[in-house]
Each structure stands twice: as structure tokens, then as C-alpha cells.
Chains A and B, each alone.
Chain A
Amino acid sequence: MLPVFQQFVQNPFPEFFAQAGSENLSQLVLEFLRSHVPFLATLPDPVLQLIAMLAVCVIFVAVVPLLPLFLVLAERKVSAHIQDRVGPMRVGPHGVLQTLADGVKLIFKEDHIPRQGDKILFIVAPYIIFACSFAVFAAIPFGKSILVSNLNIGIFYIMAISSVVVIGVIMAGWASNSKWSLLGALRSAAQIVSYEIPIGLSILAVVMLVESLKMQDIVMNQGGLGILSWIVFRTPFTFIAFFVFFISAIAEVNRTPFDLPEAESELVAGFHTEYSGMRFALFFIAEYANMFAVSAIAATLFLGGWKGIIPGYEFLGGTPGFVIKTMLLVFVMMWIRWTLPRLRVDQLMNLCWKYLIPISFFNILGIGIWVLIFQNDRNPAHIGISLLIIILGIIGAYLVLGKRSSQSPAPRASSA
């Protein structure tokens, strides 16, 4: 055991991890146990497999709740600095332990259940939301073999499981027996159901290009040419699809400017108004885990996943590179949150049904024609054409629409 430990300390990422043999995390752990832990290798195979699976579970159960710990602090710091404040400063150096302290406080708080509410639904709702946002992580590829399960319906599974969150939200809103909660839950349901459509359609654009639903296939498809082979730049239509996806994703995780379900000034806190203590913390963890998951999906689908920027080099590649890309997208979400004011309900629906969905359908059409003409061969010439169209499109929009709109009295802009 000691030499193994020594080797692990000296070289925490041995060549073992680079081997192509294992397809997902539990296989990786299984191989590690077989080759490096002699006294476990004598156990029968099913037991060993069970141990490997449980180990993976423990890793994810331990890591995912730690995400909000970091993200909440990041959010508070980013918001503070955007508003010329400094944010939490007291607990630990520069307040780095603030969320830990808040978490401890939430654990010790009274767990209050409304007397007139539906007790069972009230108790179950946070677990449904938490489990669903947690389950999304099963299909996100963090690296070549750092993946819980390489499902052959990966992205479809993610869409399906993240839609179940709505049920939890409505349960929470109904069971609280509070008008604020119910209003927030209904708004949330309307919003999530509406924005599923542009999300699905922009994912469909990627799937049409890659011709696979497997997350790992989508990542593999973006290798070879570094940043140029990322799906965002591959065709002009996926470039638009990325923005449609990101906007809808922000709406999907109920963040400002689409935070109508929890609008503080209107609905107290929306569907989790009546929750306290650990149940509230579960909502909170789920919210931030969702945020991370959605950014990770965007990074996987459009920004090359764990593939690096420069072909042949590992720069911004692998698991650290993937996490950096995801965190950048999370930062953009926070950035948007502290830039834009909340939309009205009618504006929210306008944006979805009148702008995002038609654009998505146009994208589907365009990407079909693109695949028909150019195939998906990652030819540098085709990517060059795509980049040219993207740049010309931006310049053209500026020349044609920019001047015109500055002269005419500004119409009511539906912020996108």
C-alpha cells in the first residue's frame, strides 16, 4: 500500500489516466483498484465493480455540493466589485469562508413546515429539484475518461432530466400554501417550458452537425484544429445557436434578467419563500449546481469541451481546461445578472416566442443546408468560409441596422 501511496503523491496523474482503455469514471476506478490496490484485487469481480461505482458516487456527492460553496462566494464578490463594493470580508481572509459559515448556519436553523401546507409534497420537493440538477452531472464529460456514464443518448438525457426540475418547483410552490410561492412556481413553470424549446432546437443544430447524441462524440468531433474546430465557429448557424442556447439557459436556471420566478421585489422569494434551514440550502445548492451544469453543457456542445485551444497541445484542454471554460461561462452569467434589469412577463414571452424560437427554426434550416453542401468533414476551408460569413454578418448588421436604428426613435428593445 505504501509504494502505491508514494507513487500517487509523486505523480498524482500517472500515465494510467491517459490510457484510452477506460471509457468512464467507474471503469477507471475499477482498473485503478485492480492494478494498484493488491488486497482488493483478490475480491470477486462484481464486488469490485460495486466498490468502483460507489467510489464514483462518493466523489460526485462530495464535489457537487462544494460547487455552490465556491460559486456563491464568486457571485457575491463579482456583484460587489461591479457595484464598487468589496463583498464579504470578515470570515477568513477576504471572506473566503463566508459561504461555509452560511452553510453551517443553515444546517442549524429551524426546519419550518407551514401548518396549512401539504406536508409530504413540501418535504419531497427540494429533494426532487436537487436530485434532478445532480443527475445532470452524470452525463457531462469532464475529460477523456472523467465521465460517470457515456450514455448513447447523453444530451437527450440531460434535457429530459433537467425538465423534471419544473415538477419539483411546482410541488414546492403548491405545498407551501402561500400565494407568493404559487405565483412564483407558475411563472417558473411557464418560463422553463417555454425556454425548453429554443434550448432543444439549438442543441438539435449541434446534433445535426455531429450526428450523435453521445456527449463524448460531440467533444471528439471538436478536436484536431484547436479553437477553429469548436462547434461555435464551425458554421455561422451554430454561432447563432450558441447565443440562443446561452440566453435560454440563463432563463432555464431562473437567473436575472429572467428571474421572474424568484423576483424579490414582487414575490418575496418565489417558490422557496416558505422554506428554511437545510431544505432552503438544497434549493440553493441545486440552483448553483444547475448554473454550473448548464455552463458545462454549453462548453461541451459549443466550446470544445475538454479539447484544447491549440491543436497538439494540452493548453486549456483536459479537465482543468474544461473547468476553466465552464467557469468563464458562469462568470458571464453573473456578469449579465448584474448588468441587466429583470424582464416583464410579456417581454419574457415575447423574447422566447417571437425571437428565439423563429431564430432557432431558421438555424435548423440553415444547418441542414450547410451539412448537405459541406458535410461535416472539419475541412479548414469550410471553417474559413464559416468565419468569413460570421464576420461579414456582424459588420453587415452594424452597417445596415446600426445606422438606421440610431436615427429612428428607438423602438422598445426586447433585450436579448
Chain B
Amino acid sequence: MRQYFSNIYLGVYSVFIGMAITFRQLFKPSVTHQYPYEHSFEQKKNVRDIPQGYRGQLFNRIEDCIGCKKCEMICPVDCIYITTEKLPKGERLWDSMNVVHLKDRTEIVGMIEGDEKIEADTTVSIQTRERGAVEIPSEQVARVVERKPVIFYLDKFDIDMSLCMYCGLCTEVCPTECLIMIDTLEGIEYSTFDRTNLIFKFAKPEMYDKPLDEAADAEAAD
């Protein structure tokens, strides 16, 4: 008899406990990503951070690319397509230059006047093509990278990301470190209605407007 009432009590009690739990769940924020509308995965707290060195989408800083085709040659699946056109002998698109990365994540391209080693608490003056001489306090400078001289027009630098197997060999052989794999979730989005959208085109023909004049200008600026 006691067991009988105990059963009733337990049944009712456990139902109420369960209902309290579900009622609390009712007011918890949901964990759903409204995927095609919400791209900002990073802002959701329940997504883990991407580790450093993650092999994500390929990206090429075409300004630094010297068209050596090493990446095209080493690619195991042949998904990189490069065509270059050589300049007449002795001519260059631009000479070796400095790329000054600033701490606010912008960069200035030009020649550093004087010593390339930057000392603390001085101002650095940089000769640029677009803006002439620029003066920057040295504490703003993050690092200085050398830009190699370019003797090719890069007509085409395409990577077919639908073929890429993310081995990362191309980034290892790149002599100028301009071909990199992005390690953020930004570059994880590949869904598209047309497969040709996955062929990433990095070449910028607009870089070569009036190529000879520009080269001459650059030389004159030096």
C-alpha cells in the first residue's frame, strides 16, 4: 500500500522536476545559426576558435608575387594556373622595394630613405609612388618586408578551389611568402550556385596601367 502511494508521489514529483527543466530550457537562447543569413560564425560563443596555422582558403598578395610558377609546379592536383608575359630584356615592372607594415594593419609601399634597419624613436621617411614622401614615427612600424623586383606581367593567376586539396605545399615553396592559407573562418564559405565561382582569380590587370611609364616613374623617383 505504501509502495502504491510512493509510486504516485514519485511519478508526479519526477514529472514536475522534468517540466521545470524543460521550462528553464524554454528561455535559454537558442544555438542555431541562421546559416545563409548569418555568416559571422566567430561571434557565436559556442564555436571554437580556429587554431593558428589552420589550412584554410588560399590567398595571394598579387603585389608581392614574382610569377616564379613554383606553386604551379608543386601543386599535386594542378589547380593553380599561371600565365606570365616577360618584359623586354632589361626592363622591370618595378625594382626591389620595401613594404612597411604598420601596427594599425595598413601598409605603405615604397623605398625607405637611409638605413633599412629602423631604430626606436625616430621618424621614417618613405618614398612612395602615389603619395611622394611619407613620414611615419618608428613606433608605428610593425615590420618591414622586402618586395622583389618584378620582370613579368602576371596575366593570370587562378586557383581552382574546388580542386584544391589543402596540402599547403604551394605556400611552402613560395619564395616571397605571398601565397598563404587564411586561418580564419572568413574564408571557409564556398557555397555558390556556379562552380566557376570557385576559381579564384588573383591577377590584377589594372596594376599594369601604362606599365612602361610607371616603371619609368618608379625609376625616376628612385
Contacts from A to B (Cβ < 8 Å): 78, 80-86, 89, 335-336, 338-340, 355, 359, 397, 401-402, 404-405, 408, 410-411, 413-416
Contacts and interface: CB of A to CB of B under 8 A. Distances in A.
Contact of A411 (B7, B18, B22): B7
A84 B31 CA distance: 6
B3 interface: yes
Given A336-B15, A405-B10, 7 more contacts: A84-B28, A89-B34, A335-B23, A401-B5, A401-B6, A402-B9, A416-B8
A80 B13 contact: no
Contact of B26 (A81, A86, A359, A405): A81
Contacts of B19: 335-336, 339
Contacts of A359: 8
14 contacts: A81-B30, A83-B25, A84-B25, A85-B32, A340-B15, A340-B18, A397-B5, A401-B6, A405-B6, A405-B10, A411-B6, A411-B10, A413-B10, A415-B14
B34 A413 contact: no
Contacts of B145: none
B11 interface: yes
A86 B32 contact: yes
B12 interface: yes
B25 A413 contact: no
A413 B32 contact: no
B22 A413 contact: no
A335 to B, nearest CB: 6
Contact of B11 (A338, A339, A408, A415): A415
**10 closest A-B pairs by CB:** A416-B11, A401-B9, A413-B10, A339-B22, A339-B18, A86-B32, A86-B30, A405-B6, A82-B22, A415-B11
Interface of B: 2-3, 5-15, 18-19, 21-23, 25-32, 34
A411 B29 CA distance: 36
Contacts of B34: 86, 89
A416 B12 contact: yes
A306 B193 CA distance: 56
A83 B29 CA distance: 10
Contacts, number: 74
Contacts of A410: 10
A338 B3 CA distance: 28
A84 B15 CA distance: 20
Nearest to B5: A401
Contacts of A405: 6, 9-10, 13
B12 to A, nearest CB: 5
A404 B15 contact: no
Contacts of B23: 335
Given A81-B26, A335-B19, A411 B9 contact: no
Nearest to B37: A89
A408 B34 CA distance: 48
A80 B10 contact: no
Contacts of B21: 339
B30 A416 contact: no
Contacts of A81: 25-27, 30
Nearest to B36: A90
A336 B12 CA distance: 12
B113 to A, nearest CB: 59
Contacts of A397: 5, 9
A355 B9 CA distance: 11
Given A335-B19, A336-B19, A401-B5, A82 B11 contact: no
B22 A84 contact: no
A143 to B, nearest CB: 31
B18 to A, nearest CB: 5
A271 B130 CA distance: 78
Contacts of B12: 416
A411 B14 contact: no
A335 B8 contact: no
A232 to B, nearest CB: 16
A411 B28 CA distance: 33
B5 A85 contact: no
Contact of B22 (A86, A338, A355, A416): A338
A82 B6 CA distance: 29
Contacts of A411: 3, 6-7, 10
Contacts of A335: 19, 22-23, 26
A410 B11 CA distance: 11
Given A86-B32, A413-B10, A339 B26 contact: no
A90 to B, nearest CB: 9
B30 to A, nearest CB: 5
A411 B13 CA distance: 13
A327 B22 CA distance: 18
Contacts of A340: 15, 18
A413 B30 contact: no
A345 B179 CA distance: 65
A356 B141 CA distance: 80
A359 B7 CA distance: 13
Contacts of B30: 80-81, 84-86
Contacts of A86: 30, 32, 34
A357 B11 CA distance: 16
Contacts of A336: 15, 19
A1 B48 CA distance: 67
A225 to B, nearest CB: 28
Contact of A413 (B2, B11, B27, B28): B11
Contacts of B9: 397, 401-402, 405
Contacts of A355: 7-8, 11
B116 to A, nearest CB: 56
A331 to B, nearest CB: 10
B87 to A, nearest CB: 55
A335 B21 CA distance: 11
Contacts of A404: 2, 6
